Structure 1
Amino acid sequence: MFSGSAGRRRWSRASTTAVVVLTCTALVGGCADTIGGTPTSSRTTSATEVAGLPVTDGPSGPKNQAPEPDQPVAGTDHGTTDELARNAVADVEDFWADAFPATFDGASFDPVSRLVSYDSRAPRGVRLCGADTKGLANAFYCPTDDLIAWDRGDLLPQLSAEFGPMAPVAVLAHEMGHAVQKRAGTAGPDDPVIVLEQQADCYTGSYFRHVAEGSSEHFEISTGNGLNQVLGVLDHIRDVPGTSDFRVQDAHGSAFDRVTAFQFGFAEGPERCTRMDFADVAERTTQFEFWKDGQDEDLPVDRESVDAVVTSLREVFVETGAEPPVITTAPADCPGRTTTSPAAYCPETNTVSLDLDELREIGAPPEPGDPTAGRGDFAAYAQIASRYALSVQQAAGLPLDDPAAGLRTACLVGSWSGLLLEDPIGQRNPVGRLRIAPGDVDEGVAAMLTEDSLVAADVTGAQAPAGFARVEAFRVGFQDGFSPCTTNYV
């Protein structure tokens, strides 16, 4: 079931210096002191597409005059929330009626046996799957009773208000994913919770691909802001960073984990979800425990910390051969260009200029439900990394204001971030002394789903059009290093 809440995320500085060992790859390929040229690749990704679909910004939500489902809802108040929820379950079941036999060797898909609505705010609850619904702001699938239940009083209205009408659809598609697991046997009784949750998130992504392609009878979604809002739900409902790692039985996954699983399902279909097991999750998860005492403090946004971050960037990108940019916290003009804020890159002078006051506002700890709060220290420092990444692209002779520049930037920021893990993905060696703490990457995901972040923006501050593509590019760099950043995004 969906669970978890937002929490504070921290950076820290390692007490010992790690040996700097980078794979022998320059930014554009090969081992060289300098970089140049325009790469080509058979795996190129367009900035105007989302997993092969065009980026759109049309309506997202229920379709007009959609057919009314037949399945009854126990406990309903016959209100709009229950109508939306019932339509969501019916639509997801329609998807699986075709997708299930195509995925599982012709096996037929049986709808869930029962739908139940309840109000968690009611003075008295009811017993469902062994739990009292009073105060239970949740939605869940109960395998013993083969039912899906949801809270119409608190959870679904709150998600609709914050993330739009497709948020409850995402939650219920996830719960239907657990019903698919039971019917297909894709998760064993000894699998930890995080495997079940990753599969369900992946199955959710497969369903939303169906909606994005226009094949749903009940709903429509844009691949731009519509998918951004759905990914925002996954960012919102996640494990508290640092409370556990993926090996414990009750871990559900970080926002980065959950978004990654959704994107796999959206891009590759439900067959990819069936291959999600413990080994698959362990290879890419960022759900790990705090590795060092004292990681309960954010890295302050000040000149000393900026210097540490810039040193880290230089260490990570030294193999590219790019001349490091000058970093200044004083106002800096860039002739003929409009500068971005809170960080700007001037190609003509190879200078990154920073506004520390604005960065401090971004770097303040996030607070659940408070849109005026900060986004966390990593979100602030990723802005600096994004402008530094432009200097690397400049050295490679790549355009800084073409449609792909924002995705290359996000990928390069991801590649830097992936080398700051104490135990980097893919057995790469950690670089330098700066380390990310659990949840830092989630701050980057949250920032990339907003409309004013520089993490996936070109030199003018224009972001890649779709949040889905921004996060995907960051993930490619985070997991695979900086080599794909110029071959995938041209």
Structure 2
Amino acid sequence: MRAPRVIPAMAAALLLAVIVAVFGCSSIAGTARPTENILVRPVDPSFVYGTDGSSIDRLAATVVTDVQAYWSRAFPQHFGSPWRDIDGGFFSVDTTDKDSDPPPCTAEVADLAGNAFYCTALDAIAWDRAALLPVLAEHYGRTAVVAVLAHEMGHAVQHRHSTPSGDTGSGAAGTSTSSPILTEAIADCYAGAYARWVVDGHSERLHIRKAQLDGAMRALTSFRDPVGTPRSDAGAHGTAFDRVSAFQDGYRGGPSSCAEMTRHNRFTSTAMTSAPERRNQPLEKILRSRAAAMRAYFAGLVDRRGGHWTDPVLHRASPANCTEGRRRAEDRRRPVVYCPQPPTVLVDRRELANTHGEIGDQASATALATGYARAALSGLGRPTSGAEAARQASCLAGAYTGSVLHEAARRPPLSASDLDEAVILLLSEEKVGRAASATSAPTGFDRVTAFRAGVRGGADACGA
């Protein structure tokens, strides 16, 4: 019997530890909005084995019903054969109850603790309604529950469809263990394709706004592989950058793009994933050496494009300084702000130190890079505030990060965890911006999409 596929590090204690480690008790925490309802036509969970009829099981039952409705349309359209509904059943288990019956593909209830999985052998899906789904909803919002269950349904899609991928032993059916990380990426991608269908208003049961997907994105970043996890590891799911990328690729490209994934076109470089996690550099070093490198990069970019670069002053000040930049509501709590008059990159030392300590040095470096990116926009005669400027600044910060990766011959490459820190920073930056200006700030989803475009395509991908 094939072992169930599971989400890594999802035992309740580990999940809470990850949340505390990543978000602490700071302003970056509390990103979920659990009171925000996404159910339009809830589904009675009575068809779920072991259900207690609770609201969390009602949410889960609605999601799996809706995902199957999506695939009943999308599967024939993209893969040319009819969709077959899950025939092994859905199982809800209270893992805190020692008398609960273990679900399929497990020997005991503890095997499911803090987890959800697709059981390939019996074509069944199980979830922990006590230590997984409520924790997801509380910390990341109900869309995180949607993403996790859509991911497990993605494995059912793989089980029903096999696509030659040019990657020996790792086709979309997920029937080989030679590339588990690819199998998981495709499931993330299928979850993103389904999410797009819901956001576009095609679901009769769920209503999700694009901004609400940020909770799902935050969940994916927390469920990343630990640094140093080999890609061949049976439980490998990828870095945060990889997982978010797969979800977004499915969202933008649909199921066909997911089935075309290979190990060679999907993941962060082997050099990055094999590189040991770097120790955080002191914040002062970021503000000195990396700031100098950023100024040189963006000055060269502006010069090549025929603009006029004015080297901004790096000013470490309190939020009371640089009134013009801080007057914009979207900038009041950002750790780094660009002030056009006079050209200044204003660093809120306390906020940036919080970011540095809670997420990592690459997060503070990315925040600094977005400040210099706005200076580059100014030098090119582009707006430096508003949603489009925020998107372009995120993209240009990605382009700068990509340039660092390409200089690996002259300096050690960034580790995979560095890209993860940048993604987490962009998601938390979104929270600050939208809290102040709900309609003008781009979503975290948009910021990460732009950053990824810059990393992979350079400044040419940024439209600046």
How far did 1:453 drift? 6.7
How far did 1:435 drift? 4.7
How far apart, CA to CA, are the structure 1 residues paired with 2:374 and 2:38? Answer: 37
Question: Where does the alignment leave 5 or more consecutive residues of structure 2 unmatched?
Answer: 1-5, 10-14, 23-34, 163-171, 304-308
Match of 2:207 among 217, 220, 228: 220
Q: Does 1:326 align with 2:316?
A: no
Match of 2:380 among 371, 396, 403: 396
Number of equivalenced pairs: 413
How far apart, CA to CA, are the structure 1 residues paired with 2:235 and 2:269? Answer: 15
Deviations 1:229-283 (A, max 9, x none): 121221222212x23243544321111111111111111111111101222224x
- Contact preservation (8 Å) 2:324, 2:341: no
Deviations 1:38-93 (A, max 9, x none): xxxxxxxxxxxxxxxxxxxx965111x44547x72222222222222122111111
The two structures have a TM-score, normalised by structure 1, of: 0.76
Question: Where does the alignment leave 5 or more consecutive residues of structure 1 unmatched?
Answer: 10-57, 365-373, 422-427
Q: Which residue of 1 aligns with 2:346?
A: 353
> Aligned partner of 1:134: which letter?
A
Q: Which residue of 1 aligns with 2:73?
A: 98
Change in CA separation of 1:449 and 1:313 when aligned onto 2, cut-off 3 Å: same
Deviations 1:401-444 (A, max 9, x none): 243100000001111122333xxxxxx44487475333222222
Match of 1:256 among 241, 244, 256: 241
Q: Which residue of 1 aligns with 2:220?
A: 234
Q: Does 1:309 align with 2:284?
A: no
Question: What is the Cα-based RMSD across aligned positions, in Å?
Answer: 3.0
Q: Does 1:466 align with 2:443?
A: yes
How far did 1:290 drift? 5.0
> Aligned partner of 2:378: which letter?
Q
> Aligned partner of 1:438: which letter?
A
How far apart, CA to CA, are the structure 1 residues paired with 2:381 and 2:146? Answer: 44
Where do 1:434-445 residues align within 5 Å? 435-445=413-423
Change in CA separation of 1:463 and 1:433 when aligned onto 2, cut-off 3 Å: farther
Q: Which residue of 1 aligns with 2:47?
A: 72
How far did 1:471 drift? 0.9
Where do 1:262-341 residues align within 5 Å? 262-282=247-267, 284=268, 288-289=272-273, 291=275, 295=277, 297-302=279-284, 304-320=285-301, 321=303, 322-330=309-317, 333-334=321-322, 336-338=324-326, 340=331, 341=334
Higher relative contact order (CA 8 A, sep 6+): 1
How far apart, CA to CA, are the structure 1 residues paired with 2:323 and 2:149? Answer: 52
Change in CA separation of 1:121 and 1:287 when aligned onto 2, cut-off 3 Å: farther
Q: Which has the higher helix share?
A: 2
- Contact preservation (8 Å) 1:246, 1:285: no
Residue 345 of structure 1: SS of its match in structure 2? strand
Q: Which residue of 1 aligns with 2:167?
A: none
> Aligned partner of 2:416: which letter?
P
- Contact preservation (8 Å) 1:103, 1:271: yes
Q: Which residue of 2 aligns with 1:122?
A: 97
How far apart, CA to CA, are the structure 2 residues paired with 1:259 and 1:289? Answer: 16
Change in CA separation of 1:108 and 1:461 when aligned onto 2, cut-off 3 Å: closer
Q: Which residue of 2 aligns with 1:405?
A: 389
- Contact preservation (8 Å) 2:95, 2:131: yes
Change in CA separation of 1:307 and 1:269 when aligned onto 2, cut-off 3 Å: same
- Contact preservation (8 Å) 1:148, 1:175: yes
How far apart, CA to CA, are the structure 2 residues paired with 1:316 and 1:60? Answer: 45
User: Please, which moves more after superposition, 154-163 or 114-123?
Assistant: 114-123
Residue 219 of structure 1: SS of its match in structure 2? coil
